[in-house]
Chains A and B, each alone.
Chain A
């Protein structure tokens, strides 16, 4: 049955006021639309203008900056760059303001446009036609049936989606309670390899690299000898011939002492018994894959074995100036070897190796900075594969890198003219850099009292806070010392005091906080061996064989002087309450023998 219209409907749908209202809303809608279009056009123009005058790509600014590279001290040029920089920034921020304001206005106009459109439509709304009940009943039945199918289809779609997603991935790490049919040992089969590196405590108990655990030349030992007599043997464990030439220092791991040596004809690794000095094994590093038949010539003043070995507690690593790099077990068996040579270094490669976890860190700075040959490498200690390598735009350098934990990150600190650069040990990404090095960089950096100490030979000693990012030259240099600056040897610091030694034997004690000089003493001896702190004492070894021990304190106090009867270039290693030192002709072990 079709229902007839009622008086109420007629009354409700009467046109009183409806049409004028609809027209008013329509007019409003048009006005809002025109306004929005004009506004959008203006914004588009502003956007195009900003794209064209991108402050980041301003050719004038780029040109001026290029000129500044040629004339870095030109103040007028700097001022011009500043003015132009300010100008493009102002232009940019005006654009940003325009766009932000425009977006709000555009949204407002769109809202008015939409509301007016909807209400103008509402004002014209009319009731639909009447329809027979039978037709409506049939339609309802059909709709219900279609709806059920629609729900079923939607459910099937969701189910198929869940099933497909479930098939898309098979977990390697299962839930605690494995499902039927799943091998319980699946986790073990795919489990990650165990940590293959020494713990921090293991490293602390040994001397696994040049200048100790973190390259800081500070031993945690407290019971090390301060006096001994080489002639009588009092206070000495043993002294054995050095067997081979080389300027590298000894390292220790457990009861083993390692060093390397060699010349153009032969290069070897030696392992001594730390208790007796007896040779446990010697291994020639030869026939290295990729090595040229004849090694590149290296000046005798540096030699083929100036680079000190390193150990990660699982293997020992050696690098020679001809580019041969090798990993050996503690029993002297090769794990892997490769040649990175020939190296382009006028004085020969001298930077020592470092490790981080199971990675071998090698700073291989060569040639001039323009040659692009310098790189920092991280090798997988187990396989020798390059984990990462980071190019360095620097020339040859001879300082050894150190690996420190600072600002929550493992950082590799490197020195080369003109930069102190810190890299992430994880991925080799540069973290921060400080400009200020010049000359031939030989002293290695150290990390003491929360500061990285970097030496520009005979010029200045910089103390840097290692928590920056980018170029922090202007912001993170805590203090600088320009007096009595070391030239060959590396500084040492115990957190409170810093000691620097010049090659003429002038020892200077500084306050680690501000770099102020506390005292200085001239020993008037040639020194190539870097000072080392152990048991609260500073150990110095002169090139002519004089060993001096002084207190690492605010007051100068000399504790002992000993003639060693040898010549020294290498730095000492401290382990097991003893001191291991390589001379030109002998290897010394100073300390008691009853360990």
Chain B
């Protein structure tokens, strides 16, 4: 290949931004589409096969000596195994840190991803996971009577602590959810930056919602609607199995859609990662601005350098916009709080006690339908035993929900305001950099940086890049 072909982009006839390279990319995508579709179909088939397993009744004859075993609930995982899980998590985080910042090896990150999917995913059935653990922490904060297990606390805190120092190394190859999506990424399609900016708000909203429901003791919705748990467990509700397969299918083209646009723990890691002491450094040398890193990053986490200084008019506009946004920020928080308060009426229904009280208030004096044994009927019967107590309990929960709903709404308003503020700021970048908040530390950009490739060829041994964590 000639050097000229490296920079092969040329303007098209219309002077637009389209290029033969993009056209070639589209052609490649078209050629690979059947294969991608095949992969999606295989995943769907696997999921349907898992769903298809019917329940088998016990034998009809009761005079045989066969004793039908009683239904049992699986016991809790042994304590030492719980500590072992924490140890494996800490070791995996340490390994990920070294692989991304020290060894700078995409290949070994991939190996770690496979291990994490196998251990934390399929072996540990995805539980306890750091994503769900934030609900346990929220419940412990909202309910003094709830004892937070040490192991769960460790799963919540360790990735955040690592993120404060080394960026989102947890996402790199330790989180089984992210690793699984990373492994199925076949043909990454760039999500337009503007769309990504908007969708990036969703994880923060989902985080707020998850905390609201957990802190009020209503439901662990993040676990309940986790799309990957049914895949790790090879069973689950049909809707969730299909949603998991759907996310994986989407993940063939869109890099880690769950992590980027929904994961509530990712939102926390994003905050921690954005103030991290160290992070992924793409190039070990001066950036030649070849844009390969930006091209290969499937997560839209590589930021361009600032091109030239803005003019005085542009600066004036920027300052004016920032001033407006500074005023808008508290307004958004207050408006969000009000909307959250309204929303709390409906949200409280997720709590079983409130739901039962509402049903009892509406249907309690009506006789249940004849001959239809259902949990709902039994619940109403329980409600009839102490309706006043139920009502008082439901009112207290509603009270908590109203406060929680306002805080949730204010949080969403603040996130939107801060995001708008952030998008209006100018950065002093002189080369392509990984956004420490958005970077999932997958190390793809490192592998493709020509300077890194050259350094590896010359040295045959990786050396730390500029400014990265000095690990030997």
Question: What residues of chain A have their CB less than 8 Å away from a CB belonging to chain B?
Answer: 3-6, 8-15, 29, 33, 36-37, 40, 43-44, 47, 55-56, 65, 78, 81-82, 85, 89, 92, 96, 99-100, 102-103, 106-107, 109-111, 113-115, 117-118, 121-122, 125-131, 133-137, 139-140, 143-144, 146-155, 158-159, 162-163, 165-177, 187, 190-193, 195, 380, 385-390, 424, 426-429, 471, 473-475
Asked if B186 contacts A118 (CB within 8 A), the reply is yes
User: B201: which of A155, A170, A177 is its contact (CB, 8 Å)?
Assistant: A155
Q: Bound state CA distance, A40 and B39, in angstroms?
A: 11
Q: Which segment, of B141-149, B217-225, B268-276, B417-425, faces chain A?
A: B417-425
Q: Given A13-B1, A125-B292, A192-B384 in contact, is the A146-B194 Cβ separation under 8 Å?
A: yes
Which of chain B's residues have a CB closer than 8 A to the CB of A171?
Answer: 345, 348, 354, 358, 398
Asked if A129 contacts B7 (CB within 8 A), the reply is yes
Contact with A along B337-370 (1 / 0, CB 8 A): 0011111111111000010011011101101111
Closest Cβ of chain A: how far from B392's Cβ, in Å?
9
Q: Bound state CA distance, A163 and B405, in angstroms?
A: 12
Q: Is B35 an interface residue (CB 8 A)?
A: yes
Q: Residue on A with the closest CB to B8?
A: A129
Closest Cβ of chain B: how far from A68's Cβ, in Å?
9
Q: Given A148-B423, A162-B409, A175-B398 in contact, is the A169-B186 Cβ separation under 8 Å?
A: no
Asked if A159 contacts B185 (CB within 8 A), the reply is no
Asked if B339 contacts A163 (CB within 8 A), the reply is yes
Q: Given A166-B346, A176-B395 in contact, is the A78-B61 Cβ separation under 8 Å?
A: yes
Q: Given A133-B308, A158-B205, A176-B395 in contact, is the A389-B370 Cβ separation under 8 Å?
A: yes
Asked if A96 contacts B387 (CB within 8 A), the reply is no
Which of chain A's residues have a CB closer than 8 A to the CB of B453?
Answer: 11-12
Asked if B371 contacts A190 (CB within 8 A), the reply is no
Q: Which segment, of B51-59, B79-87, B157-165, faces chain A?
A: B51-59
Q: Bound state CA distance, A187 and B364, in angstroms?
A: 14
Asked if A111 contacts B183 (CB within 8 A), the reply is yes
Which of chain A's residues have a CB closer than 8 A to the CB of B354?
Answer: 171, 173
Q: Bound state CA distance, A155 and B378, in angstroms?
A: 41
Q: 3 closest A-B pairs (Cβ-Cβ)?
A: A129-B9, A166-B342, A12-B450
Asked if B198 contacts A154 (CB within 8 A), the reply is yes
Q: Given A165-B347, A171-B348 in contact, is the A8-B288 Cβ separation under 8 Å?
A: yes
Give 17 pairs: A residue, B residue, CB < 8 Å, sorted on A.
Answer: A5-B290, A12-B454, A103-B49, A107-B46, A114-B185, A117-B32, A130-B9, A147-B198, A155-B416, A170-B345, A171-B358, A173-B361, A173-B398, A192-B365, A427-B373, A427-B374, A428-B373
Closest Cβ of chain A: how far from B303's Cβ, in Å?
10
Q: Bound state CA distance, A92 and B59, in angstroms?
A: 14
Chain B at the A interface: SS class = helix
Q: Is B451 an interface residue (CB 8 A)?
A: yes
Asked if A192 contacts B346 (CB within 8 A), the reply is no
Which of A29, A139, A168, A171 is packed against the most chain B CB atoms within 10 Å?
A171
Closest Cβ of chain B: how far from A440's Cβ, in Å?
28
Which of chain B's residues have a CB closer than 8 A to the CB of A33?
Answer: 35, 38
Chain A at the B interface: SS class = helix
Asked if A40 contacts B186 (CB within 8 A), the reply is no
Closest Cβ of chain B: how far from A34's Cβ, in Å?
10
Give the size range of B's interface with the partner. Answer: 35 or more
Which of chain A's residues have a CB closer than 8 A to the CB of B336?
Answer: 159
Q: Bound state CA distance, A122 and B304, in angstroms?
A: 22
Q: Is B461 an interface residue (CB 8 A)?
A: no
Which of chain B's residues have a CB closer than 8 A to the CB of A187?
Answer: 391, 395
Asked if A193 contacts B365 (CB within 8 A), the reply is yes
Which of chain A's residues have a CB closer than 8 A to the CB of B6?
Answer: 5, 9-10, 13, 126-127
Q: Given A12-B450, A89-B56, A171-B358 in contact, is the A129-B10 Cβ separation under 8 Å?
A: yes
Q: Is B77 an interface residue (CB 8 A)?
A: no
Q: Is B394 an interface residue (CB 8 A)?
A: yes
Asked if B62 contacts A174 (CB within 8 A), the reply is no
Asked if A168 contacts B360 (CB within 8 A), the reply is no
Which of chain A's residues have a CB closer than 8 A to the CB of B373?
Answer: 424, 426-429
Asked if A166 contacts B339 (CB within 8 A), the reply is yes
Asked if B420 contacts A126 (CB within 8 A), the reply is no
Which of chain A's residues have a CB closer than 8 A to the CB of B38?
Answer: 33, 36-37, 113
Asked if A390 contacts B193 (CB within 8 A), the reply is no
User: B3: which of A9, A107, A147, A386 is its contact (CB, 8 Å)?
Assistant: A9
Asked if B342 contacts A162 (CB within 8 A), the reply is yes
Q: Bound state CA distance, A147 and B370, in angstroms?
A: 57
Q: Is B335 an interface residue (CB 8 A)?
A: yes
User: B395: which of A125, A146, A148, A173 is its contact (CB, 8 Å)?
Assistant: A173
Closest Cβ of chain B: how far from A427's Cβ, in Å?
5
Q: Is B13 an interface residue (CB 8 A)?
A: no
Q: Residue on B with the closest CB to A147?
A: B197
Contact with A along B168-211 (1 / 0, CB 8 A): 00000000000000011111000011110111111001000000
Q: Bound state CA distance, A129 and B335, in angstroms?
A: 46
Besides A158-B205, A159-B412, A191-B387, 12 new A-B residue pairs in contact (Cβ under 8 A), listed by A number: A6-B450, A8-B288, A11-B453, A13-B5, A110-B184, A117-B186, A134-B307, A147-B197, A166-B343, A173-B358, A192-B365, A389-B370
Which of chain A's residues have a CB closer than 8 A to the CB of B374?
Answer: 427
Asked if A43 contacts B49 (CB within 8 A), the reply is yes
Q: Is B319 an interface residue (CB 8 A)?
A: no
Q: Is B277 an interface residue (CB 8 A)?
A: no
Q: Residue on B with the closest CB to A359?
A: B367
Q: Bound state CA distance, A153 and B391, in angstroms?
A: 39
Q: Given A56-B57, A82-B61, A429-B373 in contact, is the A114-B184 Cβ separation under 8 Å?
A: yes
Q: Bound state CA distance, A149 and B194, in angstroms?
A: 8
Which of chain B's residues have a CB closer than 8 A to the CB of A380?
Answer: 367
Which of chain B's residues have a CB closer than 8 A to the CB of A92?
Answer: 56
Closest Cβ of chain B: how far from A154's Cβ, in Å?
4
User: B62: which of A81, A390, A475 is its contact (CB, 8 Å)?
Assistant: A475
Closest Cβ of chain B: how far from A393's Cβ, in Å?
14
Asked if A55 contacts B56 (CB within 8 A), the reply is yes
